[in-house]
Structure 1
Amino acid sequence: MAEKFDMIVIGAGPGGYVCAIRGAQLGLKVAVVEREHLGGICLNWGCIPTKAMLRSSEVFHLMKTAKDFGLSASGVDYDMDAIVKRSRKIAKQLNSGVGHLLKKNKVTTIMGEARLAGPGQVAVKGADSEQVLEAANIVLATGARARDLPGLEADGDRVWSYKHALTPPHMPKKLLVLGSGAIGVEFASFYNTLGADVTVVEVQDRILPVEDAEVSAFAKKAFQSQGMRILEKTLVEKVDRSKDGIVATLTQDGASTTEEFDTMISAVGIVGNVEGLGLEEAGINVDRTHVVTDPYCRTGVEGVFAIGDLAGAPWLAHKASHEGVMVAELIAGQSPHPVDPKSIAGCTYCHPQVASVGLTEAQAKEEGYDIRVGRFPYVGNGKAIALGAGDGFIKTVFDAKTGALLGAHMVGAEVTELIQGYVIGQKLETTEQDLMETIFPHPTLSEMMHESVLDAWGRALHF
């Protein structure tokens, strides 16, 4: 006889395991099914291990520039095997932590491949057997994987996906990075800092295309000053592979050239893990590999929800987690608010860091707002100069009529930590006056957030 639950979650990534835990906290009997890694791609092969490796490259950079801080360091070098080992150890530690949290909250964890087997039923194929589970509510949280372009598929040797880049078989000497979104520029930043000759290719007219245009332009100049080559409006038409490297055909403005590299990282987006779930048979609509949902993550099939990367952009772990909480609370009979994509911050951990929330200046104008825009540079901030991090700026976009904060955009040291201040401000419907009257501590980088707001009304004090 099938074991019965109140809620079954398929996938234990940052959306799935959080959904399962929240459901259990609310008194639901919950099962989570995972085919590979507790914690999903983010914890095991994405957000966390990449940040560990980027931290290593950041420390390496600081060691090489020790003289700028009145220090002396000689013979500075790195050990790629040790960098990777540290990264994998951190991922393993957090993977174990997820298992502990699920057990602590009395969530039944089942390892295996799951598929919808009929209304309220989930079939799970384990290593040695198959079982059927039953629940009135099923949450699909299977995430996504790297997109492969025809002819440019990753092979783990000379053409890498993000997984290969996290456990590199060799240190690239001349690296081609295809795609300049968060994944592409983070790996470009990491390998460039360690000494690789890096070329970044972007098909659109600017790198970091989802960011504000001013941030994209600033980041481009910063990357170029670090030795990266940036090619925008450029296609990688094909790649010829050999034992020692690749020959890439690059097309820009209709003209094609060929160039040799020893390694390429493909970072051209993701596709949802929709295969083998029985979605078509269940009547669930899929659009370009992502499950179509309403604002409450309902699929249109009674009792079936989809969250996280599987349910579409923005493809961010924190979006998945909050959707998981929302769905669990909805199932438990509460009345949660839907997740608003405009309130979700995006963070990119390159050097310099990039972070943003809400509308860009261009988007605000397109939506018909009469806007006020404020900016403040890092060079005007005492803490930034003391840190040796005087490059960057903070930009804020307001509705001129109401003072509502429409968007905030940052590039510079530690902006991935600063952005949350504006996220909270938006959530609390803070106006420009509230932010102006807030006392920011000195000396901190956060003072630039205050100054940017002041600047939008012509009141900046320190620049």
Structure 2
Amino acid sequence: MADQTFDMIVIGAGPGGYVAAIRGAQLGLKVCIVERENLGGICLNWGCIPTKAMLRSAEVYHLMQRAGEFGLSASGVGFDLGAVVKRSRGVAGQLSAGVGHLMKKNKISVVMGMARVTAPGQVAVTSESGTQALAAPSIVLATGARARELPGLEADGDLVWSYRHALVAKRMPKRLLVIGSGAIGIEFASFFNTLGADTTVVEVLDRILPAEDAEIADFARKRFVKQGMTILEGASVKALERGKGEVTAQIERGGKVEKHVFDTVISAVGIVGNTEDLGLEALGVTVERSHVVTDEFCRTGVKGIFAIGDLAGAPWLAHKASHEGVMVAELIAGGHPHPVKPGSIAGCTYCQPQIASVGMTEAKAKEAGHDIRVGRFPFIGNGKAIALGEAEGMVKTIFDAKTGELLGAHMVGAEVTELIQGYVVGRQLETTEEELMQTVFPHPTLSEMMHESVLDAYDRALHF
């Protein structure tokens, strides 16, 4: 490709970058997107999508083992890990190809290679075929993030895995240690535990799922323990001694260090932004703790340079990145978009049971000075949940007692990652408890629990 000039250059083709490119093209901009590895980025190829495909396999396997509860019979239930991985990779490959189709459909130029911003409005892309120069008055940084590695706990792909190694696992762990209990760690722990691994989760903080409401996290913890997991909270892995076919982990807890032997370790201790080799320092772009500092419109402070998605900090969620991409594209095209509100972005964890939340936790609402009303409704009180054989779970809602504002909603149980969007819409529309109470929910559905939780906050629950 000869040197070219565009209206907008997007660096990174993940869910933030490729969506920004599409929206820009829709608005009449001449757009180029640069990607160093796979269209669709980490989320589509090595994160959100392939993990959900694997977790679906584990869910079906779990249900097959419960066939008798539903009046069914299934003998010789087993699994083929290689086939599970193959299906997962196939799903990711299909969607990555779909992104390529969308780029062609929207007439977006795709350049594969390593990008570096050499000056405001100037990008150099290096690939095996050489280096080419691109120019645009607006540049969107969407390079995402990668797994954080702690000294001594680095992944080797053999005994110690990163999320990438786990997604293409060549063997089934027998004794598994998962370091970190955020969404990534808990999802892999849930997957391998369901398939039969003796699973231990270590969390350095005083409880697992530290970003979630404490009551929801505690409920999930009890379910994990019931499923056979060992949960070590307030603990840290001080060292890993790698031997032949096994790893000895030194785990410190309560001032005491004990040694535990595993055959596999998955490190899931957070992420760091991909800020290296982009030329940011020379441009004057501010980077703090591996993330680019931006304002509410994702502007970096350097004219014409924006940063979106994981690169720009929490919440590290694909849907947040996508909406930031749309917002920035509209801004570049001369529009006046609203900024993305982090407090109205749902977080979803696809373990078993699923966990989903939006807005403030109960503790955060109190810390912010709100006088609150809290409602709860258990799955055991819902006819659809009982009929599904999924009677363990809870929906929790938090309201400002004075204004009726929905401050937060938190769920644990079957399909809550789908249910949470109802509350997300409610927060976006600035709904009150009265409006939610007057909303008619269909019967029989799991969504009725959302209504009942609201009613319970005001001592009006009907079915529990």
Number of the residue aligned with 1:109: 110
Q: Deviations over 1:33-67 (max 9, x none)?
A: 00000000000000000000000000000001100
Native 8 Å contact 2:120 2:305 kept in 1: no
Which residue type is aligned with residue 393 of structure 1?
Answer: M
Number of the residue aligned with 2:378: 377
Q: Deviations over 1:359-393 (max 9, x none)?
A: 00000000000110000000000000000000000
- Following superposition, the deviation at residue 129 of structure 1 comes to 1.4
What is the root-mean-square deviation in Å for CA atoms of aligned residues?
0.6
Q: Deviations over 1:131-163 (max 9, x none)?
A: 110000000000000000000000000000000
State how far apart, in whole Å, the 2-side matches of 1:169 and 1:375 are.
43
Percent identical across equivalent pairs? Answer: 72
Which residue type is aligned with residue 43 of structure 2?
Answer: C
- Following superposition, the deviation at residue 456 of structure 1 comes to 0.3
Query: 2:447 matched to 1:446?
Result: yes
SS in structure 2 at match of 1:305 = strand
Number of the residue aligned with 1:276: 277
Number of the residue aligned with 2:388: 387
Number of the residue aligned with 2:264: 263
Gaps (5+ residues) in structure 1? none
Number of the residue aligned with 2:317: 316
Number of the residue aligned with 1:287: 288
Number of equivalent positions: 463
State how far apart, in whole Å, the 2-side matches of 1:50 and 1:278 are.
33
State how far apart, in whole Å, the 2-side matches of 1:164 and 1:94 are.
20
State how far apart, in whole Å, the 1-side matches of 2:22 and 2:435 are.
36
Number of the residue aligned with 1:430: 431
Which runs of 4 or more aligned residues in structure 1 lie more than 3 Å from their structure 2 counterparts after TM superposition?
none
- Following superposition, the deviation at residue 278 of structure 1 comes to 0.4
State how far apart, in whole Å, the 1-side matches of 2:335 and 2:224 are.
47
Native 8 Å contact 1:201 1:234 kept in 2: yes
- Following superposition, the deviation at residue 351 of structure 1 comes to 0.2
Which residue type is aligned with residue 158 of structure 2?
Answer: D
State how far apart, in whole Å, the 2-side matches of 1:409 and 1:176 are.
28
Native 8 Å contact 1:199 1:229 kept in 2: yes
Native 8 Å contact 1:157 1:169 kept in 2: no
Native 8 Å contact 1:376 1:455 kept in 2: yes
SS in structure 1 at match of 2:21 = helix
SS in structure 1 at match of 2:7 = strand
Query: 2:24 matched to 1:23?
Result: yes
Q: Deviations over 1:111-131 (max 9, x none)?
A: 010000112100001221111
Number of the residue aligned with 2:330: 329
Native 8 Å contact 1:245 1:262 kept in 2: yes
Q: Deviations over 1:230-260 (max 9, x none)?
A: 0000010000001211000000011000010
State how far apart, in whole Å, the 1-side matches of 2:138 and 2:150 are.
36
Native 8 Å contact 2:382 2:449 kept in 1: yes
Number of the residue aligned with 2:95: 94
What TM-score do you get using the length of structure 1 for normalisation? 1.00
Native 8 Å contact 1:389 1:413 kept in 2: yes
Aligned counterparts, 1:45-444, within 5 A: 45-444=46-445
Q: Deviations over 1:203-231 (max 9, x none)?
A: 00000000000001000000000000000
Which residue type is aligned with residue 344 of structure 1?
Answer: I
Q: Deviations over 1:326-379 (max 9, x none)?
A: 000000000001111100000000000000000000000000001100000000
- Following superposition, the deviation at residue 2 of structure 1 comes to 3.5
Which residue type is aligned with residue 92 of structure 1?
Answer: G
State how far apart, in whole Å, the 1-side matches of 2:271 and 2:38 are.
18
Which residue type is aligned with residue 399 of structure 2?
Answer: F
State how far apart, in whole Å, the 1-side matches of 2:419 and 2:21 are.
30
Gaps (5+ residues) in structure 2? none
SS in structure 2 at match of 1:101 = helix
Which residue type is aligned with residue 60 of structure 2?
Answer: V
Native 8 Å contact 2:189 2:199 kept in 1: yes
State how far apart, in whole Å, the 2-side matches of 1:127 and 1:353 are.
43
State how far apart, in whole Å, the 2-side matches of 1:33 and 1:70 are.
54
Native 8 Å contact 2:406 2:431 kept in 1: yes
SS in structure 1 at match of 2:374 = strand
State how far apart, in whole Å, the 2-side matches of 1:459 and 1:322 are.
37
State how far apart, in whole Å, the 1-side matches of 2:120 and 2:368 are.
42
Which residue type is aligned with residue 363 of structure 2?
Answer: A
State how far apart, in whole Å, the 2-side matches of 1:96 and 1:333 are.
31
Which residue type is aligned with residue 424 of structure 2?
Answer: V
State how far apart, in whole Å, the 1-side matches of 2:244 and 2:29 are.
55
State how far apart, in whole Å, the 2-side matches of 1:451 and 1:310 are.
39
SS in structure 1 at match of 2:149 = coil
State how far apart, in whole Å, the 2-side matches of 1:127 and 1:401 are.
62
SS in structure 2 at match of 1:439 = coil
Native 8 Å contact 2:8 2:136 kept in 1: yes
